[in-house]
């Protein structure tokens, strides 16, 4: 744990900003169109991953030491692909919906490479992982970029899943939705899937030669009770959903099919969905807009994910006449999962409220601090009207006084550090950023603070670009009355102390 001694001086909250003390004048906040995409990156067992590269809509950031990331100003879209990458693992790829003035939450689980096997292109061979066998014929490999035949040994990285435990389901790309041969989106129940990547020793990506097929074989207890013919689906990483392409036939206890290219491949059956409806609310019954709602089958291998609407209402497709585990997530806060009986095909069941209990009141305002590779350590500080100080040494609480919380303390570049206010006190809140590292200064930090409130107002303020030794960036003062944000005054000055 780092020592922050001497990094700040406690100061009272002031009702108005004092005159800036040099080192860069006030900044002008910029309205942000689009929405915010926020979430966490972890492994399949929920351990946060630091330094994962997260990309969406051509933008890239990194996860902080607690796995959190934040990207603002993403243009609204019904389906956008988001990817998290780290060396030595497969990428996590999901699809999200982005709305103007709203925050989209996503949890990215990075799956490991289970096997890495070298195959001689001249002879081919079998690669096995978790009940899946990939059978490569001879002379099956070409350079993905040039199309030339590959003659050097090919490294086959493979991970396969048969849903013997819940973490395997968390590895599933997308949201158990696929586009069938007719172009119609269908809910999926999976019997297992695998991910394969092919590279040469020099790192060049390898593809399957035109006209060549590779056999996939799933041999497990699930395949033994499967239909005689099961569709094969590949994950289209550009579109963020599964696409039907071929089929596997049951041969004894195995499902056997063939493919001509590799992303993730999945053995799936479709079903006529039924639906669960309800609301996502906080402990006081306030609806939580655009909360993320998910389900996983209890007695089947499927799931779905949808966002609630602006009033917290959701409609979730499920497998009919089965049991489903349902929960909601709102900006990183999770409801207790409930298990429900699903209705017959085409019917709808109302399951009531999913309660996010650790929110005592809806999120009324959020300040999100992100920055570049240097300096290593910037710190968010919030002073409340009652004199509370929310920062790395006292992170606060969302469900009791001061009803404001710092979610993480990032000490190794990029952020984000997210400060959330639920119940607003009457008076002035003061938000500042401290350069704990000291050097380089804010002018080289690429630091940005994104502000959003319950009305969907999103604005950003960039750190001053003039060189200065001053280590405090006074960002904004928020005025609240009658439990609502009445005004936000952006400052943007560099000062000797937050309230100077």
* 3-class SS string, 193-227: EEEEEEEECCCCEEEECCCCCEEEEEECHHHHCCC
Q: Answer with the one of 356, 386, 418 that is the final residue of a domain.
A: 356
Same domain flag for 95 and 133: no
Question: What is the pLDDT, as a whole number, of residue 15?
Answer: 30
For residue 253 the two structure tokens come to 């206890």
Same domain flag for 368 and 408: yes
Is residue 473 a contact partner of residue 31, using CB atoms and an 8 Å limit?
no
Is residue 500 included in any domain, yes or no? no
Is residue 5 included in any domain, yes or no? no
Same domain flag for 223 and 282: no
The pTM of the full predicted model, rounded to 2 decimals, is: 0.74
Contacts of 428 (CB under 8 A, 6+ apart): 13, 14, 15, 16, 385, 477, 478, 479, 480
Q: Which sign does the torsion angle of CA 196, 201, 206, 210 carry?
A: negative
In this structure, what are the phi and psi dihedrals at residue 461, rounded to the nearest 5 degrees?
-130, 125
Residue with tokens 């000062």: 495
Same domain flag for 465 and 401: yes
Q: What is the pLDDT of residues 230-260, one digit of tens each?
A: 999 999 988 888 999 999 999 888 899 999 9
Same domain flag for 123 and 265: yes
Neighbours of 401 (CB within 10 A): 13
Is residue 2 included in any domain, yes or no? no
154-167 burial code (b ≥16 CB/10 A, e <16): bebbbbbbbbeeee
Same domain flag for 121 and 266: yes
Is residue 3 included in any domain, yes or no? no
Same domain flag for 119 and 99: no
- Burial of residue 242 (number of CB atoms within 10 Å: 0-12, 13-18, 19+): buried
Same domain flag for 379 and 414: yes
Residues of the chain with pLDDT under 70: 1-32, 162-168, 221, 223-224, 358-362, 410-411, 413, 454-457, 500
Is residue 74 included in any domain, yes or no? yes
| 3-state percent helix, strand, coil for the chain, nearest multiple of 5 | 0, 50, 45
Beta-strand ranges (E) seen in 342-426 are 348-356, 365-370, 378-383, 389-390, 396-397, 404-406, 417-421
Q: What is the pLDDT of residues 14-27, one digit of tens each?
A: 233 333 333 344 55
For residue 305 the two structure tokens come to 């994910």
Q: Answer with the one of 270, 303, 325 that is the final residue of a domain.
A: 270
Domain that holds residue 374: 30-109+363-495
For residue 496 the two structure tokens come to 């000797």
What's the domain count of the chain?
A: 3
Same domain flag for 235 and 150: yes
Contacts of 352 (CB under 8 A, 6+ apart): 278, 279
Same domain flag for 140 and 266: yes
Q: What's 133's domain CATH number?
A: 2.60.220.30
Neighbours of 50 (CB within 10 A): 17
Same domain flag for 136 and 236: yes
Question: What is the pLDDT, as a whole number, of residue 496?
Answer: 92
Whole-number Å distance between alpha carbons of 212 and 389: 65
Whole-number Å distance between alpha carbons of 24 and 27: 9
**Residues linked to residue 254 through DSSP beta bridges, in sequence order:** 219, 251
Q: What's 394's domain CATH number?
A: 2.60.60.30
Same domain flag for 132 and 214: yes
């Amino acid at each position: 744990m780092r020592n922050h001694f001497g990094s700040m001086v406690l100061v009272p909250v002031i009702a108005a900003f004092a005159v800036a003390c040099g080192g860069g004048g006030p900044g002008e906040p910029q309205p942000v169109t689009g929405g915010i995409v926020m979430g966490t990156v972890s492994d399949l067992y929920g351990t946060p991953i630091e330094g994962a590269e997260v990309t969406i809509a051509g933008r890239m950031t990194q996860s902080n030491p607690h796995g959190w990331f934040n990207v603002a100003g993403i243009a609204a879209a019904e389906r956008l692909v988001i990817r998290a990458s780290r060396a030595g693992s497969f990428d996590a790829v999901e699809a999200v919906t982005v709305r103007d003035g709203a925050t989209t939450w996503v949890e990215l689980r990075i799956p490991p490479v289970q096997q890495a096997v070298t195959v001689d292109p001249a002879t081919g061979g079998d690669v096995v992982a978790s009940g899946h066998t990939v059978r490569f014929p001879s002379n099956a490999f070409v350079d993905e970029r040039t199309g030339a035949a590959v003659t050097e040994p090919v490294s086959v990285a493979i991970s396969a899943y048969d849903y013997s435990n819940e973490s395997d389901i968390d590895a599933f790309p997308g949201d158990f939705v696929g586009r069938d041969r007719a172009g119609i989106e269908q809910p999926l129940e999976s019997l297992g899937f695998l991910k394969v990547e092919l590279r040469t020793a020099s790192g060049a990506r390898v593809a399957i030669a035109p006209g060549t097929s590779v056999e996939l074989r799933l041999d497990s207890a699930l395949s033994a009770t499967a239909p005689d013919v099961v569709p094969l689906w590949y994950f289209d990483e550009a579109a963020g959903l599964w696409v039907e392409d071929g089929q596997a036939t049951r041969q004894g206890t195995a499902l056997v099919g063939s493919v001509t290219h590799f992303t993730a491949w999945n053995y799936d059956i479709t079903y006529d969905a039924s639906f669960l409806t309800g609301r996502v609310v906080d402990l006081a019954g306030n609806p939580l807009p655009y909360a993320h709602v998910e389900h996983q089958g209890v007695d089947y291998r499927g799931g779905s994910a949808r966002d609630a609407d602006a009033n917290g209402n959701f409609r979730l497709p499920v497998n009919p006449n089965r049991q489903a585990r349902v929960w909601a997530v709102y900006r990183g806060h999770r409801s207790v999962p409930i298990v429900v009986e699903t209705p017959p095909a085409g019917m709808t069941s109302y399951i009531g409220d999913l309660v996010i209990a650790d929110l005592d009141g809806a999120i009324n305002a959020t300040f999100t601090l992100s920055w570049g590779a240097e300096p290593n350590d910037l710190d968010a500080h919030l002073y409340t009207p009652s004199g509370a100080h929310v920062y790395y040494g006292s992170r606060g609480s969302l469900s009791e006084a001061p009803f404001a919380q710092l979610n993480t303390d990032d000490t190794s570049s990029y952020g984000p550090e997210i400060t959330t206010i639920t119940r607003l006190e009457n008076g002035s809140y003061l938000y500042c950023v401290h350069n704990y590292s000291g050097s380089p200064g804010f002018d080289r930090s690429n630091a940005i603070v994104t502000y959003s409130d319950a009305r969907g107002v999103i604005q950003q303020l960039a750190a001053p670009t003039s060189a200065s030794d001053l280590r405090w960036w006074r960002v904004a003062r928020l005025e609240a009355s009658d439990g609502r944000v009445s005004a936000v005054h952006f400052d943007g000055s560099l000062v000797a102390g937050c309230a100077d």
